[in-house]
A and B are shown apart, each in its own frame.
Chain A
Amino acid sequence: MSATILIVAVTIAQGALVLAMGLAVLRMIRGPRAQDRVLALDALYLDCMLLLVTLGIRTGSAFFFEAALIIAMLGFVATVALAKFLMRGEVIE
């Protein structure tokens, strides 16, 4: 009974997160400017990280937490570097 509740909830949550990733990809394709694409990439990183956490709940393994932590950190660094590039035209000056 409780396992069924959890399976259904995790499945719905993963479906919603995949749909959210699809919407972010759609925004990234549509643009219209570079800052929109960077924002969509940031949202995509976040959705991917949450999807990994739900995957960890589904499989019951703790490895996905570390992957999610790394993805969160990569998303932060990537967005900061891209915003810096949009602002100054170069990343390291």
Chain B
Amino acid sequence: MAEVPLWAAIPIAAFLLIGAGLTLIGSYGLLRLPRFYDRIHAPTLGTSWGTAAIVLASMGYFSVTGGRPVEHEILLGFFVTVTTPVTLMLLARAATFRDRAEGNPEVPGRPAVADTETTDGDGSPPA
């Protein structure tokens, strides 16, 4: 590993630890949270600041060792930031569709268009 000055090593190390720690917390939440609709929120810790911090650390390290600004890691952060909402929304909609098709009582049925008084109170989908 190349020698970098101390003023650069400390923020790089801090960003690495922050990013990896947030990703670990996100995966722990994925394991621990009780329902699917809770769990789908947990890995976004890793996709937001987990990725951003590790990408910043990588940019800082290669900029200092290379002696010139290196910014191609931004592509990685940009790509993850753009694609995560798309994938998770598709996945959540698929899960909602499956739960509704099975009549799972934890998931409310498709909301009524005209009025909501016709549902019988417990949120079950109309027959």
On A, residues with C-beta under 8 Å from B are 1-3, 5-10, 12-14, 16-17, 19-21, 23-24, 26-27, 30, 33-36, 38-40, 42-43, 46-47, 49-50, 53-54, 56-58, 60, 62, 65, 68-69, 72-73, 76, 79-80, 82-84, 86-87
Contacts and interface: CB of A to CB of B under 8 A. Distances in A.
Contacts of B50: 46, 50
B112 interface: no
B46 A47 contact: yes
Given A80-B87, A87-B93, A35 B46 contact: no
Given A5-B10, A79-B87, A50 B23 contact: yes
B83 A72 contact: yes
8 closest pairs, A vs B, by CB? A9-B13, A2-B9, A13-B20, A20-B27, A16-B20, A87-B94, A83-B90, A86-B94
Given A79-B91, A86-B95, A72 B40 contact: no
B contact residues, range? 35 or more
B73 A6 contact: no
A8 B72 contact: no
Interface of B is mostly: helix
Contact of B87 (A23, A27, A60, A83): A83
A3 B5 CA distance: 9
A26 B51 contact: no
B114 interface: no
A31 to B, nearest CB: 10
A16 B58 contact: no
Given A20-B23, A26-B31, A53-B76, A8 B36 contact: no
Nearest to B15: A9
A12 B20 CA distance: 8
